[in-house]
Structure formats: C-alpha cells, structure tokens
Amino acid sequence: MHSHISVAIYERFPVIIIVLSTIAAFIFIPHILIQDPISQLPIIGIEHGNTEKRRQAFIATKLPDDILSFDEPVGESLSAKYTKLIFKNPIFPHTVKQNLTPALVRLNPRISQEVEEAITREIPPCKDWTKVNVNQKLLRIVAMVSGCVFIGPEISRSEAYIDAAINYTIELVVATNAVKKVRPILRSFPTWRLAEIKSLDRWVEEAYAFLNQWLRQGEMQRKGRWLMGNAKDFEVDTDEDMARIQLGISFASIHTTTLTATNALYSFAAWPEYIEPVRDEIRTVLAQHDGIFTTRAIQDMKKLDSFIKESARQFPASLDAYRYLCGATARNQFISVTQNVMTFGYGRHACPGRFFAANEIKMIVAKMLLRWDMKNIGEEGRCDSIYFGGQSFPDPTKELLLKKVQD
Ligand code: HEM
C-alpha cells in the first residue's frame, strides 16, 4: 500500500527541510509571542517592576488563552482552516495529562517491550560494522511505540498506520505551503481543488480506515483507550474528527521525539568515549531493577538523562555530557521545564507529553547502546546540523556505523 510513501527519507530531503522548519515554527512561535510583544506591555504592568517581573506576572501564569493564544499561531501557521487540522480541541493535552502521564508507572515495562521489539524489527543485527540511517529507523520505531500506547499494538505495527503517522506531518506541511501560495482572498474559493489538500485528505481517509478497524475489533472497549473514552466530553462527534486528532498526535509527537533521539545517537557516535560509561550505568541500574525499565530505573539512569538533554541543546559542536549531573536536582532533569532550557517549552502550555517522550527516548537510546557500538563513517566529530529560525536539527540523511557489542 502506498509504495510511494515508503520512499527512503533521504530521498525526500527537500520536504524534510520544510517539515523541520515547520516543526521549528510550531515549537517556537509561542516563545516568540512570549518574548517580543509582551515585553512591550509596561503600561499595563508597570506596577510589577522590570521586564522580567512583568513577564512572570503576565505570561508565566496569568494571561488567559483568549488574550495570549497558544493555539491560534499554530492553527495559522499550519493553515488549519484549509488543512482541517484540529488544533483547538483540548482533548489531546487533556488525554496526555489525565490518562497517559499518570499511567506511565504501570505502562513503562510494557512500553519497554514494545521498544525492544520495534528495534529488533527495524534494525539489522549488525554483526560487523554496518551503515544505518538511524533517523529513518527511529521514525518508524517511535511511530510504533507511540501508536502502541495510543491505539494498541495490533494497529500500530501495521504499515498503513506507520505510513500515515510518519507521512501525515510531511503532507500537512506540503499542503500548508501550497495554501500559502494562493492569495488570501482567493483561498476560500479554489483551495478545495489543490492537489496537496486532496492528498492530505487521503491520509485522513487512511486514518479513518484503521480507526474503523480498531473500533470493529472492540479494542477500545477491551483496553479502555483514552482518546475514544474522552471523545464525548470534548465533543469529538465523528470518526473523521477522531482520525484527524489521532494524526495530530503523530504530528506533535513522532518527529519531535525522533529528532531528540537522533541527536543523542549522533552525539554518541561523535564522542564514543561516553558510550562505555553510560552503558555501564544502564547495566548497573537494570541489574538493580530485575532487568526491567521501571519508572524508577529510568530515573536512575542519570548520566544517560544528562547526555540526552545536553545533546538536545542548540549547537552541539561541543559536548559537556554530564553538565546536568551537577547537583542532580530535579531542575536538571531532561524533563524539567525551566527558563534556561526550553526544549519542552515553558509555562502553562509546556509540553505535557515530555514525561512519556523522555521515557521513550531513554529506553530507545539505552537499548541501542546495550546492543551496538556506534561511530561516524569516516569524519571526526559531530556531523553538521541543519539550522532554521535559530534552531538546529540533526541531518536526517546521515548514516552511522553500528556493530554488535561483544559479550
Ligand atoms: C522530545 C519530544 C518532544 C518535544 C521536544 C516537544 C516539544 C514541545 C513544545 C516546545 C511544545 C510547546 C510548549 C510551549 O509553548 O510552552 C509542545 C507542546 C505540546 N506537546 Fe510536545 N514535544 C515532544 C513530544 C511530545 C509527545 C510525545 C507528546 C504526546 C504524547 C506531546 C504532546 C504535546 C501537546 C499535546 C502539546 C500542546 C500543549 C498544550 O496545548 O497545552 N509532545 N511540545
């Protein structure tokens, strides 16, 4: 099905560039709003003091969404009116906060199994040094693991789901750009004819198909899947809307998680001297937890946590891998949201999926380190990143060499 869809990621490099820039926009528009216009509000906040105090007073907690909107710039930048992206319905953040995050303690061992199986399915054994495009592999692994959590393994392992989950983001960005080329005044009239919008709609039909399959299997009733359970409370009435929300989850979670895991692997390949100490920590911690990735075990992998957080920093030309071990306070963890590190945003809308994402990334990277040594092909150091809007992204076309760890 959709053989054109499974074209290798590196063959779609121009599209990937567009996707990366849109993800950058999605992530950073809120911060642009935070920093620029509001720091211009002394007249209504002068009593609070300097810019920082006003920023705290107005942004960090107080301004309601109808004054400083998180959703509107996301919807506008992705031409939601035409791409039919569902961006205002809070069912997704609600489900992540109320259902997913509290269930992680129970689910982590199960998620770990899924990570293990996905890695085995996707990456060859690499008995000798073998070239692997880790970004491409991670996209599929992350899509399966996220899908397993949100819709169950029966569907999350199907090619139909994996294709839709990965490529919806790309199709959405292509459609958005096509809409933006049409003059605003003409948009509401001719847009329905745009090939890119039709193609996007086909993705939604795919999602609709696998959701129907899911419903027919009684999966929701059997496992009490959260989104379906919450649909009524959030007035998600049609299967098509549910399909769009499911794809929105893929948009928010799959590429972001993959990029972060890719960054960590590129850093290990560039600074292989960290592989053995971090691997050693992972082995020691797992030995203390019966070999199971429990929440506690994941938390105890502190060198790994610091390494991943450091690798997600903007300009990875140098690496202070244990920077965040210092003091080992809660504020230094990868999932911590502070004014100094905004990987997951800041304030009321800070990424609610970060607890799941961090666990997933740590499991993936840990399991890969336990299986393989990794290094760059030829060149020394960290490969160049791609820069957009002041952000850096790992080059998705790069291959690493992997080799099975000798027992
Ligand atoms: C490493 C992976 C991820 C990164 C770097 C990331 C980053 C972000 C950022 C920067 C924001 C905007 C926050 C703000 O403006 O303050 C955000 C929002 C959001 N993220 Fe993530 N995210 C990741 C993974 C995930 C995952 C796995 C999920 C779901 C399972 C998720 C769900 C969401 C949701 C629902 C929002 C919107 C929050 C709201 O509307 O209040 N994210 N994310």
- Helices 159-181 and 134-151, axial angle in degrees (round to 10): 110
Q: Residue 281 CA to chain centroid, in angstroms?
A: 25
At 371-399, the pLDDT tens digits run 999 999 987 788 888 876 566 789 999 99
Per-residue pLDDT, 342:
78
Give, using CA atoms, the residue closest to atom 21 of ligand 1.
Answer: 351
- Kindly indicate the confidence band of residue 68, based on its pLDDT and cuts at 50, 70 and 90: low
* Cα 97 to ligand 1 centre (Å): 11
At 6-31, the pLDDT tens digits run 445 455 655 666 566 666 555 544 44
What are the phi and psi torsion angles at 387 (to 5°)?
-110, 130
Residue 11 or 1, more confident: 11
Q: CB neighbours (10 Å) of residue 231?
A: 20
Per-residue pLDDT, 212:
74
- Kindly indicate the confidence band of residue 2, based on its pLDDT and cuts at 50, 70 and 90: very low
- Helices 13-35 and 159-181, axial angle in degrees (round to 10): 70
Average pLDDT score over the chain: 82
Distances (CA, A) of 126 to 95, 205, 261, 375, 405: 39, 38, 19, 13, 10
* Cα 350 to ligand 1 centre (Å): 7
| Interval 129-150 mean pLDDT | 95
Give, using CA atoms, the residue closest to atom 20 of ligand 1.
Answer: 351
Q: Best mutation site among 20, 344, 362 for ligand 1, i.e. most ligand atoms within 8 A of its Cβ?
A: 344
Residue 61 has pLDDT above 70, yes or no: no
Pocket-forming residues, ligand 1, beta carbon under 6 Å: 27, 30, 70, 92-93, 96, 252-253, 256-257, 260, 343-347, 349-353, 356-357
State the Cα–Cα distance between residues 178 and 162, nearest whole angstrom.
24
What are the phi and psi torsion angles at 85 (to 5°)?
-65, 130
State the Cα–Cα distance between residues 116 and 136, nearest whole angstrom.
17
Q: Best mutation site among 99, 138, 256 for ligand 1, i.e. most ligand atoms within 8 A of its Cβ?
A: 256
The two tokens of residue 261 are: 């895991």
Per-residue pLDDT, 41:
41
Per-residue pLDDT, 106:
94
Give, using CA atoms, the residue closest to atom 17 of ligand 1.
Answer: 351
Is domain 3-404 classified as CATH 1.10.10.10?
A: no
Q: Residue 39 CA to chain centroid, in angstroms?
A: 29
| Interval 340-354 mean pLDDT | 85
* pLDDT > 90 fraction of the chain, expressed in percent and rounded: 38
At 243-269, the pLDDT tens digits run 888 888 888 899 999 999 999 999 999
Q: Which amino acid is located at 389 in the chain?
A: G
* pLDDT > 70 fraction of the chain, expressed in percent and rounded: 77
Q: Best mutation site among 351, 356, 361, 365 for ligand 1, i.e. most ligand atoms within 8 A of its Cβ?
A: 351
| Interval 290-298 mean pLDDT | 97
Number of the ligand 1 atom closest to the C-alpha atom of 337 = 16
Per-residue pLDDT, 31:
46
At 183-202, the pLDDT tens digits run 888 887 766 678 898 888 88
Residue 311 has pLDDT above 90, yes or no: yes
Give, using CA atoms, the residue closest to atom 27 of ligand 1.
Answer: 253
Min mean pLDDT across 53-67, 82-96, 289-303 is at 53-67
* Cα 344 to ligand 1 centre (Å): 6
Per-residue pLDDT, 172:
87
* Cα 353 to ligand 1 centre (Å): 6
**Cβ 328 vs Cβ 301: under 8 Å:** no
- Kindly indicate the confidence band of residue 55, based on its pLDDT and cuts at 50, 70 and 90: low
At 274-293, the pLDDT tens digits run 999 999 999 999 999 999 99
**Cβ 88 vs Cβ 69: under 8 Å:** no
Residue 225 or 32, more confident: 225
Residue 327 or 193, more confident: 193
Nearest partner of 59 among 40, 38, 89, 86, judged by Cα: 38
Residue 121 has pLDDT above 50, yes or no: yes
Give, using CA atoms, the residue closest to atom 2 of ligand 1.
Answer: 257
Burial of 374 (0-12, 13-18, 19+ CB in 10 A): buried
- Strands 372-376 and 385-388 come out as unpaired
* Cα 253 to ligand 1 centre (Å): 7
